[in-house]
Amino acid sequence: MPLSRRLFLNSLIVAPCLNAQNQTGTAVLMRLTDRKVLYVDNADFAARALLPPASTIKPFAIFALLEAGKLRNDDLFSCQRRLQIQGHVLNCVHPQTPVPMNAARALAYSCNGAVAHFALRFAADELPQALIRFGFTSQSGILRSAEATGVVQLGTVGPTCQLQALGEEGVAVTPLELLLAYSRLAERLKDAKYAAVREGLEGAVEFGTAQAAQVAGLKVAGKTGSIVLRSGSPAAWFAGFAPSRDPKTAVVVLTAGRSGGTDAAPIAAELLKRYAGAV
């Protein structure tokens, strides 16, 4: 997408994401070695907006199951692409795959059915505590300014835990908290025990929901998500890091749009490409 079709407040790169009137969008790129912010647009929104993370939360659910020894990458789930949980219609939109979903493919294709199925293995409060450890209820300190604090519902189990693992209910975060969580995830994924999560995030960019985040010569890992704001307007997430095997930067984007893959991922790719020389 040419830069002329984007609108960032400082005109370096904006996202079709930011609404010029209410500015309900943001983009932040951070260097991981020293947490230096290389780019930020709409810093106040990044620090203060509390939003459901949607599918960007899925890697943390899979990570927590692997950490607890409750999931192996050879555990399989045959997705029927239809899913309803407590009145939420969460049908999968990914293509029919020739093989069942494992942990990595569930992330790459953002399979609601597989993640919800595996989430039933959590004991009460197990997923919330994992999210808290990643910083979803802590101010990030990234911009050294006033921040809102995320909310994680405790005690979730069964269907409530499924909805939390899908980022639909029971969790709200600021874009900065999500950025910090992904930076911590990038570090933890150096452990081979969690290879399925890394492979899933790489797969999302290579062939799954986040292909528009691809950058020539740079292996990107990331995850998309889609939400509806209180105003009723759709918004799209992308969160990730690069290079995927030796992370140097983390990025989060929230923009107006119905698809994280179509609307948010291209902005992340532009930021990663533009600032590749700064790390």
Q: Cα 231 vs. chain centroid, distance in angstroms?
A: 22
Mean pLDDT value of segment 174-188? 98
Q: List the structure tokens of 103.
A: 């942990």
- Dihedral angle, C-alpha 98, 86, 175, 141, nearest 10 °: -120
Angle at 255 between CA 47 and CA 266, to 5 degrees: 120
- Distance (Å, whole) CA 276 – CA 279: 6
Nearest Cα neighbor of 250 from 209, 216, 214, 221 is 221
Mean pLDDT over the full length of the chain:
91
- What pLDDT band is residue 277 in, cutting at 50, 70 and 90? confident
* Percentage of residues of the chain with pLDDT beyond 90: 86
Q: Does the pLDDT value for residue 278 go beyond 90? A: no
CA distance 14 to 253: 11
Stronger pLDDT, 228 or 4, i.e. the higher one: 228
Euclidean distance between CA atoms 119 and 111, whole angstroms: 12
Q: What is the pLDDT of residues 88-139, one digit of tens each?
A: 999 999 998 989 999 999 999 999 999 999 999 999 999 999 999 999 999 9
**Residues 122, 157 contacting (CB under 8 angstroms):** yes
Strands in 150-244 per DSSP E = 151-152, 171-172, 221-228, 234-242
CB neighbours (10 Å) of residue 9?
16
Domains and CATH numbers, the chain: 3-278 (3.40.710.10)
Q: What is the mean pLDDT of residues 208-215?
A: 98
Residue 240's contacts (CB-CB under 8 Å, 6 or more residues apart) are 182, 201, 205, 210, 213, 220, 221, 222, 223, 250, 251, 268
C-alpha 54 chain-centroid distance: 8
The answer for residues whose C-beta is within 8 angstroms of residue 138's C-beta and 6 or more apart is 132, 149, 150, 177, 180
Please report the pLDDT score of residue 24 as a whole number: 78
Beta strands in 165-229 (DSSP E): 171-172, 221-228
Per-residue b or e along 171-189, where b marks 16 or more CB atoms closer than 10 Å to that residue's CB: bbbbbbbbbbbbbbbbeeb
- At 83, the pLDDT band (50, 70, 90 cuts) reads very high
